[in-house]
Amino acid sequence: MLTNMSDVTRALQSIGTDKNPNPEELLDLVYDELRKLAALRLAREQSGQTLQATALVHEAWLRLTGHSGQHWQNRAHFFAAAAEAIRRILIESARRKARLKHGGDQVRLEIEGLNLAGVTADEQILLVNEALERFKLEDPEKEKIVVMKFFGGLTNQEVAESLGVTERTVERQWAYAKAWLFQKIQNEK
């Protein structure tokens, strides 16, 4: 069951004010939804993934509320910030594993049946992130859409609300961004 949007918006707006400085109220309202988003994102990862949805949500929550004076305009703004936090956590995890992969976590593999051209989920996240960094220089608004949809699992409506544009604009920009990223990632492989 989705959280009542007005309750979330009211809690977001009251954080850091004299009326209600308690961010735990917000956590109670959004925890289940954040957990579902994290579980969906992690379901796309490879089977040996050590990061769990609960840990991902807790780390994202700490990053979101760790800065005093943090204010969110509404539910969509909050979930956009959560998507960015999740993105950064997944990228850090992928980079850490990539470092291990180059010697720190050696495992003997049989060459038979090994698909050398395949890209692991961690490598895919790093490829997407590298392409996003280049895309950010070309078109920062479309880059935000990719982060909110790919890493945050937000709907077109939520992205549109967060950016203050129409849903149709988000659909067009998302289509362009996917094509641009696909082309850049294919060139990197």
Three-state DSSP class for 146? helix
**Nearest to residue 23, comparing CAs of 86, 71, 56?**
71
Mind listing the pLDDT tens digit for each residue in 45-76? 666 566 788 888 888 888 888 766 667 777 78
Mind listing the pLDDT tens digit for each residue in 122-163? 777 788 888 888 889 999 889 999 888 888 888 899 899 888
Read off the DSSP letter of residue 115. -
pLDDT at 69: 61
Q: Is the pTM above the cut of 0.75?
A: no
For the chain, the structural domain boundaries read: 5-188
